[in-house]
Amino acid sequence: MAAQTPRMDGPERDTVRSLLAELWRDRLQPSRPGSGRETPSGRLIHGALFVTATLSAFVTIGIVLVLIFETVEFFREIPLIDFFGSTKWSALFAEKQFGVWALVWGTGLIALIGLAVAIPLGLMAAVFLSEYAPPRVRAVVKPILEVLAGVPTVVFGYFALLSISPVIRDIFGQDVGIYNALSAGIVVGLMIVPIIASLSEDAMRAVPRSLREGAYALGSTRMEVSLRVVLPAAFSGVVASIILAFSRAVGETMAVTIAGGGNPQFGVGPLEAVQTMTAMIVQLSLGDTPTTSIEFKVLFAVAMTLFVLTLGMNFIAQWVSHRFREEYE
């Protein structure tokens, strides 16, 4: 039974009605089709917000234009084959050579050392946090790992140069230079551990519980569930996290500038000084390079290479995580 509601009748009701009508007359104007219910000021706000949203597109366009503009200038003077077809780099000497592979080698070497450090640490951490750790432990450990991601890269550079490099020299002998790819690579690895650990853990936690239970019900140990069911099921996320971490390692600048040295040489080993693309950009930026000089333009050609590389890897990571994601209901 519905509760009885007080009802108004007669003149009382009419008064209320007319009052209401008066109150709402201005508001209840039929709106023009397509305009929604937006007032002129509402439309203004809408427009302003739209502009802020499109700004990010202009940033991308700006980056591409800036890079392309100077890169084209560069290739007007230096043929493409000298840039991509050579492994010798000597931009600051009288006899200039612009073989980008020397820089790519340094970048790749440090990034790969970084991955060699970060993949085992990061994946192990992810498996532990997602499969083994009780919630309370995870709540403590995960933020601590993420602190690693918040440390400024210049701090890692200090650590590599003044703490890790001496240890490496103690191990491999004093003829190893104080600047070497290994120390830079190790700190780059530390920097990307949280990326791999965090994203992989997310991917593994997204694996439905039912799958784990299915495996346990067949008599699996925790390790077998982790490694043979959860990890394969989260594979796309794990791979994407590794690619993203690699992309981050390639774009990393300060630590490799400080600790990696300034030796753009193709084919050198991990115990020698190298120079990455980013370190080269810093080196050229620190000097007062005239904006019309070839050194200034090569900056952008190298940056373009870096941009295309990292963007490509980011796209691959996105593609992998979408294309190979297992769809569970």
Partner 1 sequence: MARNFFTMMRSSAPTGTAAPPASDSRTERATPPPPNMKEEAAAGVGVHLDPNLEAVRHDFTEEVEVALQLRNVSAFYGSFQAIDKMTMPIPQNRVTALIGPSGCGKSTLLRCFNRMNDLIPGARIEGEITFEGRNLIDPNVDAVEVRRRIGMVFQKPNPFPKSIYENVAFGARINGYSGDMDRLVEDSLRRAALWDEVKDELDKSGLALSGGQQQRLCIARAIAVQPEIILMDEPASALDPVATLKIEDLMRELAEHYTIVVVTHNMQQAGRVSDYTAFLLAGEERVGRLVEFGPTQEIFTNPLDQRTEDYITGRYG
Partner 2 sequence: MSAAIPTTGITPYAPRIRARRGLSVGFMVIALLAITAAMLMLGALIVEILVDGAARLFTDGTATVQEVRGETLIDLPTPENMNWLAWAMPVAILLPFMGLRVVRSLIADIPALAERAIGFATTLPVALFVHILYVRFESAYYIEYAKAIGVDGASGNIFQLFGEASGFQFVRLIVAGLILPLGIIAAGWFWSNRLRRPSLLLPGIAIAAWVVYLFLDPFFLSSYPSRLPAQAGLFSAITGTLYMMVITAAVAFPLGVGAAIYLEEYARRNWFSRMIQVNISNLAGVPSIIYGLLGLQVFVRVLEFERSVLAGACTMALLVMPIIIVSAQEALRTVPPSMREAAYAVGATRWQVVRFHVLPYAFGGMLTGNILAMSRAIGETAPLIAIGALTFIAFLADSPTDDFTVMPIQVFNWVTRPQSGFHEIAASGIIVLMLVLLVMNAAAIIMRQRTRTDW
- For binding to partner 1 (CB under 8 A), which residues are involved? 134-135, 208, 210-221, 224, 228-229, 232-233, 326-329
**Cα distance between residue 298 and residue 70, in whole Å:** 8
β-pair partners for 89: 98
Please, what is the minimum distance in Å from the beta carbon of residue 198 to partner 1? 22
Beta partners for residue 265, in sequence order:
88
Q: Which is nearer to partner 2, 85 or 166 (CB)?
A: 166
Q: Tell me the closest approach of the beta carbon of residue 170 to partner 2, in angstroms.
A: 15
Smallest distance from partner 1 to CB 212, Å? 8
- Partner from partner 2, partner 1, none binding residue 75, C-beta < 5-8 Å depending on class: none
- Least CB distance from residue 230 to partner 1, whole Å? 10
Instruction: Pick the closer one to partner 1 by CB: 131 or 252.
Output: 131
Tell me the closest approach of the beta carbon of residue 8 to partner 2, in angstroms. Answer: 21
User: Whose Cβ is closer to partner 2: residue 269's or residue 312's?
Assistant: 312
Gyration radius from the chain CA atoms: 29
Q: Tell me the closest approach of the beta carbon of residue 203 to partner 2, in angstroms.
A: 16
Toward partner 2, which CB reaches closer, 89 or 246?
A: 246
Non-local (6+) Cβ contacts of 115 within 8 A are 189, 192, 242, 245, 246, 249
Give the DSSP per-residue string, 32-89: PTTSTT--HHHHHHHHHHHHHHHHHHHHHHHHHHHHHHHHHHHHHHS-HHHHHS--BB
- Contact between 180 and 169 under an 8 Å Cβ cutoff? The reply is no
Query: Taking CB within 5 to 8 Å according to partner kind, which of partner 1, partner 2, none is near residue 265?
Result: none
> What's the min distance (Å) between Cβ of 9 and partner 2?
27
Structure tokens at 96: 């200039």
Q: Which is nearer to partner 1, 14 or 213 (CB)?
A: 213
Closer residue to partner 1 in complex, CB, 131/201:
131
Contacts of 179 (CB under 8 A, 6+ apart): 161, 165, 259, 260, 261, 262, 263, 273
Residue 248 binding: pick among partner 2, partner 1, none (C-beta 5-8 Å cut-off by kind): partner 2
Inter-residue contact 318 to 241 (CB < 8 Å): no
Q: In this complex, which beta carbon is closest to partner 1, that of residue 32 or of residue 136?
A: 136
Q: Write down the least CB distance from residue 137 to partner 1, Å.
A: 12
Contacts of residue 217, Cβ cutoff 8 Å, sequence gap at least 6: none
Q: Residue 193 binds what, of partner 2, partner 1, none (CB under 5 to 8 Å, by partner type)?
A: partner 2
Compare residues 25 and 136 and give the one whose CB is closer to partner 1.
136
Q: Residues 115, 190: contact at Cβ < 8 Å?
A: no
Indicate which of partner 1, partner 2, none lies near residue 217 (CB less than 5 to 8 Å, by partner kind).
Answer: partner 1
Contact by Cβ (8 Å): 89, 99: yes
Residue 66 touches which of partner 2, partner 1, none (Cβ within 5-8 Å per kind):
partner 2
Burial class (CB in 10 A: 0-12, 13-18, 19+), 143: exposed
Chain-centroid distance of CA 299 in Å reads 22
Residue 319 binds which entry of partner 2, partner 1, none, with Cβ cut-offs from 5 to 8 Å by kind? none
State how far the Cα of 131 lies from the Cα of 94, in Å rounded to an integer.
59
34 binds, among partner 1, partner 2, none (CB under 5 to 8 A by kind): none
